[in-house]
C-alpha cells in the first residue's frame, strides 16, 4: 500500500506527534508498505534524504504553555498539491487536521481516501468552537477518524461531529525494555532513585508538587535521589528546589532517545505528578516498558494507561501529601516494586508499534476501495478559501492564542533542544 503521512509540526523539533509519525512511518516501511511523509521543518537539511518532503517553515504559536506551529497559505498549498500528485498514494493519513497547517490543507486539497488522527485533548476548545463550523466541510472529507485517547475522541466529536476509533500512541517496547542503564545508576542499588521527565518550567507538569513531597520521602528514606530530566529555566528550578532539597536533586538536562531509555531503565520509581492537560501518557508507556514502577496523578489519561491502578499507583492530583505517602510506600517495599514493574511491562505490550500499526492499517483498508485509483489533488478555489483565515506575520513573530485552547501538539512531548546553561549542581549524562 502507498501511504502518505502528514505531520503538521516541525520535524526537527522533538514532539509527541512528530515521534508518532516518525515511528509509524518506520514501522509501516518495515512491513513492506511504501510510505512518504510531508512535514514542515525549521531546517530543510535536517530532514532524512528519502521518504520525507519539506513543506516549508512554520510560525510559532503559544499553546497551553507550549509552542505549536502554524503554516497556512498559497505557497504551502502548492507544495501540498505537488506532493499529492507525485505520491500516487492509496491513502493519505493526516495528523491534527484542524490546526492551521499542512494537515488541514491536505484535507482541503486531496481527493480520495483520507484518514485523520486526533491527538490533542482539552476540557474545552475555543479554537475548535470558532474554526469547527468553517472547517467541517473539509473535515467531512475524512474517510476514517482515529483518536489517540477517549479524551481526544470526545473533543473532536463535540466540535466536529462524527466519531473516531480509539487507537493509542505506539511505543517500541523492546527498545525501552533492553539496554544499558545510565552510568553510575543501577535500579535496586543504593541510593534509591525517583525519576521525573518533562518540561519542568511548566506548572501543569506538576514538578512543584513532587518537590513539595520530597522532604517527607527523604525523612522516610534518607539518601533518596530525585533525578529530573527535561528542559526549562534552570535558575527558576534552582530557586524552586532550594538549598535544603538541592543535595537530593540531580538535573540531567535534556536526554537523547537512547539516554531517555537508559534513564527509565535506571530509576527505582518513575513519578508523573502532572496536574492537567494530558491527552494520553506516552512517557508512562515508555517507563512501563523499561520496567520502572509508576506513581502518577489520577488524570483520566493516566488512569486508562495504568489500567485503573493495576499497572501503577494513582494518587490524587495536586496533593503532595498523598504523593509522598505513595512514594514512601513503594520505595520501602521491593516486592511491590517488582509486582508493579511486572504488571506495567505486561500492559505496555498492548502499545507496541507492531500491535498499534496493525490497527491503523485496518482503518486504511476500510477506506481504500479496490480500483479507486490514487489520491488526487483538486485545483479550484483553494486560494480563495485560504483568505478566510488570518495570515501569520511576515516577520515570524509569535501569534497570540488563548492558552486554554491552542491547536498545538499533545502534552506528552519530550523535551526540546535549546536548554539553558546548567548551574554547577547539575550533572550532565555522558555516554
- Superfamily of domain 173-350 in CATH is Glycogen Phosphorylase B; (3.40.50.2000)
Q: How far is CA 278 from CA 92, 120, 236, 317, 413, in A?
A: 27, 8, 23, 12, 10
Which residues share a beta bridge with 95? 117
Judged against a pLDDT cut of 60, whether residue 324 lies above it is answered with: yes
**Equal CATH topology for 2-170+352-386 and 173-350:** yes
130's grid cell: 470558532
Average pLDDT (24-38) is 97
Indicate the DSSP class of residue 352. Answer: B
Domain boundaries, the chain: 2-170+352-386, 173-350
Which three cell numbers, joined as nine digits, stand for 98? 484542524
- What nine digits make up the cell of 420? 539553558
Distances in whole angstroms, Cα of residue 300 to Cα of each of 58, 150, 202: 32, 9, 19
Mean pLDDT of the chain: 83
Question: What is the 3-class SS of 160-222, one letter each residue?
Answer: HCCCCEECCCCECHHHHHCCCCCCCCCCCCCCCEEEEECCCCCHHHCHHHHHHHHHHHHHHCC
Least confident of 70-79, 103-112, 147-156, 318-327: 70-79
What backbone torsions phi and psi does residue 394 show, to the nearest 5 degrees?
-70, -25
- CATH of region 2-170+352-386: 3.40.50.2000
Least confident of 4-8, 27-31, 106-110, 404-408: 404-408
pTM of the model: 0.79
State the angle between helix axes of 102-109 and 74-87 in degrees (0 to 180), rounded to the nearest 10.
60
What's the confidence (pLDDT) of residue 305? 94
CB-count burial class (<10 Å; 0-12, 13-18, 19+) for 385: middle
Amino acid at each position: 500500500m502507498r501511504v502518505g503521512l502528514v505531520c503538521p509540526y516541525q520535524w526537527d523539533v522533538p514532539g509527541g506527534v512528530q515521534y508518532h509519525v516518525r515511528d509509524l512511518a518506520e514501522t509501516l516501511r518495515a512491513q513492506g508498505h511504501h510510505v512518504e511523509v510531508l512535514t514542515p521543518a525549521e531546517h530543510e537539511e535536517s530532514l532524512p534524504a528519502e521518504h520525507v518532503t519539506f513543506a516549508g517553515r512554520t510560525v510559532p504559536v503559544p499553546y497551553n504553555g507550549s509552542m505549536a506551529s502554524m503554516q497556512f497559505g498559497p505557497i504551502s498549498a502548492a507544495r501540498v498539491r505537488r506532493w499529492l500528485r507525485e505520491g500516487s498514494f492509496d491513502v493519505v493519513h493526516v495528523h491534527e487536521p484542524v490546526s492551521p497547517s499542512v494537515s488541514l490543507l491536505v484535507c482541503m486539497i486531496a481527493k480520495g481516501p483520507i484518514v485523520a488522527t486526533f491527538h490533542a485533548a482539552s476540557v474545552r476548545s475555543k479554537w475548535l468552537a470558532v474554526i469547527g463550523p468553517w472547517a467541517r466541510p473539509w473535515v467531512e472529507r475524512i474517510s476514517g477518524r482515529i483518536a489517540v485517547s477517549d479524551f481526544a475522541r470526545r473533543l473532536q466529536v463535540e466540535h466536529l461531529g462524527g466519531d473516531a476509533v480509539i487507537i493509542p500512541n505506539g511505543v517500541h517496547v523492546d527498545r525501552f525494555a533492553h539496554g544499558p542503564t545510565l552510568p553510575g545508576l543501577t535500579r535496586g542499588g543504593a541510593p534509591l532513585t525517583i525519576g521525573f521527565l518533562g518540561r519542568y518550567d511548566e506548572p501543569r507538569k506538576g514538578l512543584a508538587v513532587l518537590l513539595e513531597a520530597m522532604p517527607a520521602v527523604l525523612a522516610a528514606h534518607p539518601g533518596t535521589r530525585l533525578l529530573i530530566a527535561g528542559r526549562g529555566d534552570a535558575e527558576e528550578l534552582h530557586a524552586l528546589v532550594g538549598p535544603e532539597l538541592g543535595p537530593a536533586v540531580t538535573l540531567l538536562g535534556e536526554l537523547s532517545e537512547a539516554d531517555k531509555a537508559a534513564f527509565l531503565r535506571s530509576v527505582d520509581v518513575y513519578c508523573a505528578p502532572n496536574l492537567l492537560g494530558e491527552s494520553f501518557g506516552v512517557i508512562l508507556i515508555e517507563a512501563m516498558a523499561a520496567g520502572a514502577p509508576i506513581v502518577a496523578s489520577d488524570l483520566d489519561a493516566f488512569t486508562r494507561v495504568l489500567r485503573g491502578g493495576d499497572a501503577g499507583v494513582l494518587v490524587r492530583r495536586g496533593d503532595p501529601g498523598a504523593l509522598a505517602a505513595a512514594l514512601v510506600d513503594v520505595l520501602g517495599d521491593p516486592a511491590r516494586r517488582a509486582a508493579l514493574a511486572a504488571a506495567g511491562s505486561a500492559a505496555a505490550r498492548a502499545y507496541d508499534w507492531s500491535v498499534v500499526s496493525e490497527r491503523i492499517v485496518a482503518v486504511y483498508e476500510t477506506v481504500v476501495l479496490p480500483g479507486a485509483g490514487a489520491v488526487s489533488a483538486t485545483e479550484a478555489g483553494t486560494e480563495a478559501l485560504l483568505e478566510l483565515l488570518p495570515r501569520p506575520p511576515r516577520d515570524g513573530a509569535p501569534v497570540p492564542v488563548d492558552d486554554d485552547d491552542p491547536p498545538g501538539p499533545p502534552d506528552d512531548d519530550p523535551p526540546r533542544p535549546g536548554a539553558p546553561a546548567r548551574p554547577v549542581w547539575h550533572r550532565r549524562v555522558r555516554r
